[in-house]
Amino acid sequence: MKSKTKVRLAAGLSAGAMMLSLTGPAFAAPSQANQTGQATFGNLIAALNNVNAEINNLEALNNLTIQDVRVVNVEDVLNGNNVNALNNNAVDIAILQDFLNNSLNENNVEVLNDALNSNNVVITDVVAIDVLSGGDIVVFTR
């Protein structure tokens, strides 16, 4: 029980720190649902390093709506050696994609998949999710 609490606390702290950087000028409040945008390489790595915690946080959310999901294309932050980060985290990416493919009876996953569909994104393009402390979700896609 203590280890789960530590993981959730760490994920919460990580999500809070990422929320600060994601609410800057590049991430003004969306004018419409599913606004796409850019994220920093650091935000992506933090989300990749916390895949299991982010899945747990997603499952714990109540009343998630499609407006709470922001889809972010990370192609522009992946350059040079940074592309290797996705290769180095291929197992974690596969875990997340498997979860999204096989948890269709969970309301939050259905909402997340609806957001992906409305942005013409397939699950195999999802590389990470970040559940922010306010309940919003950033989905990193390639």
- Residue 114 pLDDT greater than 90, yes or no: yes
Q: How do residues 55-112 score in pLDDT, each as one tens digit?
A: 999 999 988 999 999 898 887 667 665 677 777 889 999 999 999 999 877 899 999 9
Q: What are phi and psi of 141, to 5 degrees?
A: -125, 160
Closest CA to 15 of 41, 54, 55: 54
Q: What are phi and psi of 121, to 5 degrees?
A: -115, 130
Q: How do residues 1-44 score in pLDDT, each as one tens digit?
A: 444 433 443 344 344 433 333 333 333 333 333 443 346 677 78
Q: In the chain, how many domains are there?
A: 1
pLDDT of residue 96: 96
Higher pLDDT, 130 or 86: 130
Averaged pLDDT score across all residues of the chain: 74
Distance CA 72, CA 132 (A): 14
- Look-up of token digits 């299991």: 52
pLDDT of residue 22: 38
Proportion of the chain in helix, strand, coil states, percent, rounded to 5: 60, 10, 30
What residue ranges in the chain does DSSP mark as E strands?
69-73, 126-131, 137-141
Cα three-residue angle 44-139-90, rounded to 5 degrees = 55
Q: Which domain holds residue 43?
A: 2-141
**Mean pLDDT (whole number) for 130-137:** 84
Distance CA 19, CA 122 (A): 25
- Residue 45 pLDDT greater than 50, yes or no: yes
- Look-up of token digits 């979860």: 99
Confidence (pTM): 0.69
